[in-house]
Every structure is written in C-alpha cells, then in structure tokens.
Amino acid sequence: MQATLQHLSRRQAGPSRRRSLGAARCPPGAGLLTSRAEVPGPATMSTFLSGIQPSGRPHLGNYFGAIRRHIELQEAGGECFYFIADYHALTTSRDAGKLRESVRDVAVTYLALGLDPEKVALFRQSDVKEVLELSWLLACVTGMGLLERAHSYKDKVTHGIKPNVGLFTYPVLMAADILAYDSTHVPVGKDQVQHVEMAQDMAASFNAVFGDVFVRPEPLVSERETISKVPGLDGEKMSKSYGNDVWIFESGKALKSAVGRIVTDSRPPEEPKEPKDLLLFRFLELFLEPSEFSEWEARVRKGGAGSPGYGHMKQRIVQAVEERFAEARAVRAGLLADPGRVDAILERGAEVARSRARATADRALRACGLR
C-alpha cells in the first residue's frame, strides 16, 4: 500500500501538474495509483475532489447524493481526494467530543461502503494546513458581494442560525479545498453547486491578477433529481439540520420507526395514483431494481384490490435498506473495533494531500509576491 501511495505523491509534486483555467477536461484516464508508466499526462488527468462535513451521522441523502458516487469514481480513471471537512463543521459545531466522534464516523462510513484507500486519498481537512493559507490568499481577491449571494449562508440565517464570520467565509475555505489539489471535478449534491461556482470565480479572479495559478474546477452533479436531491421523511430535502434524515446504517426497530415516519398520501391506497406523486415511491426508486420498481408502479397506477397498501410499501423499503447495507454494516463493526487502522489510513491520505496542497500554495505565494 505504501508503495502505491508514494506513486501518487511523486506524481503530484511536479509543476507539470499545472493546467490552465479552462483546460480541465474529464476523459477516462488510466487507473489511479497504478504504475508510473500507466499514468496519463497532466492534460488528460482528471482529479476528483470532494468533502463531507462531520456534522452528525451520514444519511441516505449523503449516500445517494455524494458518498456512493465518490466511491464509484475511484474506478473512473483519474485520481481522487476525499476529505472530512472538520474545519467547516466548526462553523456550527460546539461539542468537541461529538465532532471527534463524527470525524471517525464519516471515515468509517466511507471505508465500510467500499472506499479503497489504495486508490483514494482519504483525509481530515484540518490535517492540511495549506488550505488555511490558500483561504487567505483567495479571500483577498474575493468581493464581499460574492459571499453575500451564497444561498447556503442565506438559508442558514433564515433558519435562525446566528452567523459567525467562519460561516460567512465558508465558501472561501471551500474554494481553497477545491483549488489546493488542482481538482478538475467536484462531485457534490445540487445544494453545493453554487459553492463550486464560487471557487471558479475566485480562481479566475486570482489568475486574472497574478497569473495562471489555479485550475478551473467543474461541479459534477447527477442529472437524476431522485439522487441529486434525496427527499427526507417529510418530503423536503433530506438533511441532518432538518431532522428528517435516515442514518445509512439504521436497522431493526429504529429503521422501522424511521421509515414509519415517511409521510403518506391522504387518499386511500386503492385509488389509482401517479406513483411519482407519492413520497414512498421516491424512496423505493432509490433501492429497487428497475423491473421490480415498474411492477410497483403499475399496481399503484391501476389501483383497486391489487394496489399495495402504504404499510406494505414501507415494509419493502425497510427490507431494502437492511439488505443494501448489510455487508457494509458488518465491515463497519470491524473498523470500529480497530481505530488504529482508520487513523493510519487518514494519516497516509493526509500525507498525499499535503504534498499536493504545498505545491499549489507555494505557486500561489510566489505569484502574488509573498515569496
């Protein structure tokens, strides 16, 4: 494992990794962390980067909208940097113990669901101090107006969160995360697209003033609404902050009780209905094979004696969640029992990430005259 990680570190170090804004492309490249001979040239390399906040247990929305895709991308060709955004979590977290626990939980979740640490650099955001340095450089070329337009900031304030300066400058730190690793593609849910676009703006502003330093990143969002905006138990977007979420590894009684809370239609089950109007169907669609899903759809459309009751649909959802994550649940238990292994994976990921971020930060420092 060590040897393969070194391949990535060596590859990152060279200045030839630099690509100009607008040059980012997403062709299939050679596999990540393969032998040097198979590594494609910088112009064709895709770099996937994403972060997830350790602000509670990852839920089904995080899984379908982000984590599953992140893990799939480890096979897409290119290189992957995924991190646990603990600096970002501090904009709202006030409980040190919970934050620590949550960081571990996110790492274990990714690993249990199939992230391969030989193919991906998985790390803690705060292990790469370079992002703080880059944050300042970017803040100095960012207008207040850009940040004042951030939907996520405005939403949080509307939901009664008293904003601190960290929350306001959140998109600057996020831009630093994205630009530090020369990311070409940022796989995120729809709610994060504006932040990636802000990173594009900040990169363009810096480059316009100081020369060609940062690579333009593109957001990667699923076109399927079911996936890019997974509904919560109440039909709104599933989110930890709305209390309408289902933990990925929920099971048994707790899972039954969560699924029991999915809001159902007030019409009787026998009345013919358009399945897409039923929240339960948006959940079924996430889990069922298309052939089985079509059968359920046909029965609901037809109505009458053959139409399934809402309780029946809920049972199917519970069974599907249990089955989908059964194997991962077992892997998770093993990882929780071996914290040293998880720490070692995060530390190795951080080493890889730091070396890339250092090169980018040095380039930026030189460009703006701080070196």
Q: Which residues are catalytic?
A: 156, 237, 240
State yes or no: residue 186 binds ligand TRP (CB under 6 A). Answer: yes
User: How far apart are CB 337 and ligand ADP at their closest, in Å?
Assistant: 26
Q: Which residue is nearest to ligand TRP (CB)?
A: 51
User: How far apart are CB 185 and ligand TRP at their closest, in Å?
Assistant: 10
DSSP H/E element including 269 = none
User: How far apart are CB 123 and ligand TRP at their closest, in Å?
Assistant: 12
CA distance 228 to 286: 11
Stretch of residues binding ligand TRP (CB under 6 A), selected from 37-45, 47-55, 137-145, 234-242: 47-55
Nearest to 147 by CA among 167, 176, 177: 167
Q: Which does 230 bind (CB under 5 to 8 A by kind): ligand TRP, ligand ADP, none?
A: ligand ADP
33, 45, 111, 188: which one contacts ligand TRP (CB under 6 A)? Answer: 188
State yes or no: residue 177 binds ligand TRP (CB under 6 A). Answer: yes
Give bridge partners of residue 284 from the DSSP assignment.
none
74, 192, 200, 307: which one contacts ligand TRP (CB under 6 A)? Answer: 192
Size of the site for ligand TRP (CB under 6 A): 14
Q: Which residue is nearest to ligand ADP (CB)?
A: 65
Q: Can you list the positions of beta strands (E) in the chain?
A: 47-52, 79-84, 120-124, 185-187, 218-220
The sign of the torsion formed by the CA atoms of 201, 207, 213, 215 equals positive
The residue whose two tokens read 């705060």 is 126
Stretch of residues binding ligand TRP (CB under 6 A), selected from 50-58, 91-99, 105-113, 326-334: 50-58
Which ranges constitute the DSSP H helices of the chain?
Answer: 2-13, 60-62, 68-73, 86-89, 96-112, 130-139, 144-148, 151-158, 165-168, 170-180, 193-210, 225-228, 252-260, 279-287, 290-302, 310-324, 326-336, 339-368
CA distance 124 to 97: 16
| DSSP helix, strand, coil percent of the chain (3-state; round to 5) | 60, 5, 35
39, 178, 248, 350: which one contacts ligand TRP (CB under 6 A)? Answer: 178
The residue (of 49 and 246) whose beta carbon lies closer to ligand TRP is 49
- Residue 58 CB-half CA count within 13 A: 26
11, 19, 59, 88: which one contacts ligand TRP (CB under 6 A)? Answer: 88
The residue (of 109 and 192) whose beta carbon lies closer to ligand ADP is 192
Q: Which does 256 bind (CB under 5 to 8 A by kind): ligand TRP, ligand ADP, none?
A: none
State yes or no: residue 200 binds ligand TRP (CB under 6 A). Answer: no
State yes or no: residue 85 binds ligand TRP (CB under 6 A). Answer: yes
